[in-house]
Amino acid sequence: MSQKAEGKAHGKVILIGEHSVVYDKPAIAIPFPVVNVTATIEENYTANHSIYINSKYYDGLLINAPEELSGIKACVEETFYLLNAKPKNICITISSTIPSGRGLGSSAAVAHAIVRAIFNHFDASLSKDIQMHLVQIAETHAHGNPSGIDMEATYSDAPIWFQKGKKTKALEIGSPLHLIVADSGRFGDTKTAVESIRSLYLKHPGPTRSSIDLLGEYTVECAHSLSTGDLHRIGELMNLAQIELTKLGVSDDRLEQFIQVARKNDALGAKLTGGGRGGCILALAENEQHAISLSHALKEAGAPRTWTSRLDG
């Protein structure tokens, strides 16, 4: 048993396919390591034979954690149960640069980091299947009936092709991707957005199904364009996907504002990423210098935070 142990995980962005993935269409997600989380476990004799949580959202005994942390609480309890271990004087410190409610995989990444830290604390081996089982507990509390893409994307160090009920595949990239993420400053609610599309489907099944089908088709073509390094077509597909996401009602004025700023500054493509109705936009740049320029333009337009990342094949 290690007196001090760590677990780490990174954020993610969905390149294309959010929301249609709920209806068994494929989606492409990309690791976003510029935002990440570290969970550290240490012995702490003030924990009173229990588990103490130290984070920017809550500082106190796990048993008294607020409802927002119910998923993490259930995940931690199940992890100790599977290890046949009784928590005793343990402090779990969570340090994260992944903003919550922004579609960047915060809840899944935190769960991954905590599970890894606990297993490292007990010097126990951790299979992917067990890790996914434990993280899904946290994700179910956070999102209701999650597709699973967040926990796969925050686990993988490569871009992934995700489709419910099928094996997740790593994707090849034919040319580096220069990505910019801009925060709208508004908390996104994936669960509410998913429910709104479900309601729209019941009221207007034809147009809703058409948008979902198109998003699936764009995702298939995007995977091919990624493999060949056709950045301009990837950008066009991002723009086309945004049209359908807007029809589905998950965009908003703030997201649209930043998308237009990115396009006016020659982004190859720009769209919301994640659940929408707040959260972030994703833009694709020609190169690193262009990414920096886009980041500055988005900040000048009012984006409270931006991040840039290069993804190589």
Residue with tokens 């001090």: 4
Residue with tokens 């020659």: 266
Query: Rounded CA gap, 193 and 78, in Å?
Result: 29
* pLDDT number for residue 44: 73
pLDDT in tens, 67-103: 888 999 999 999 999 999 987 788 999 999 999 889 9
Q: Which uninterrupted H or E stretch holds 173?
A: none
Query: Rounded CA gap, 37 and 39, in Å?
Result: 7
Give the mean pLDDT of the chain: 94
pLDDT of 141 > 90? The answer is: no
* pLDDT number for residue 21: 95
User: Nearest-5° angle of CA 298, CA 306, CA 241?
Assistant: 75
Indicate the pLDDT class of residue 46, thresholds 50, 70 and 90: low
Residue with tokens 């779990």: 92
pLDDT in tens, 204-215: 999 999 999 999
Q: How many helices (H) and strands (E) does the chain have?
A: 9, 11
DSSP string, 207-269: HHHHHHHHHHHHHHHHHHHHHHT-HHHHHHHHHHHHHHHHHTT---HHHHHHHHHHHHTT-SE
Quote the pTM value. Answer: 0.93
pLDDT of 191 > 90? The answer is: no
Least confident piece of the model among 43-57, 257-271, 277-291: 43-57
A 10 A CB-CB count for 56 gives: 9
pLDDT of 194 > 60? The answer is: yes
Q: Which uninterrupted H or E stretch holds 152?
A: helix 149-153
* pLDDT number for residue 192: 87
Indicate the pLDDT class of residue 300, thresholds 50, 70 and 90: very high
Domains and CATH numbers, the chain: 5-163 (3.30.230.10), 172-311 (3.30.70.890)
Query: Rounded CA gap, 26 and 12, in Å?
Result: 16
- Mean pLDDT of the region 259-284: 97
pLDDT of 292 > 60? The answer is: yes
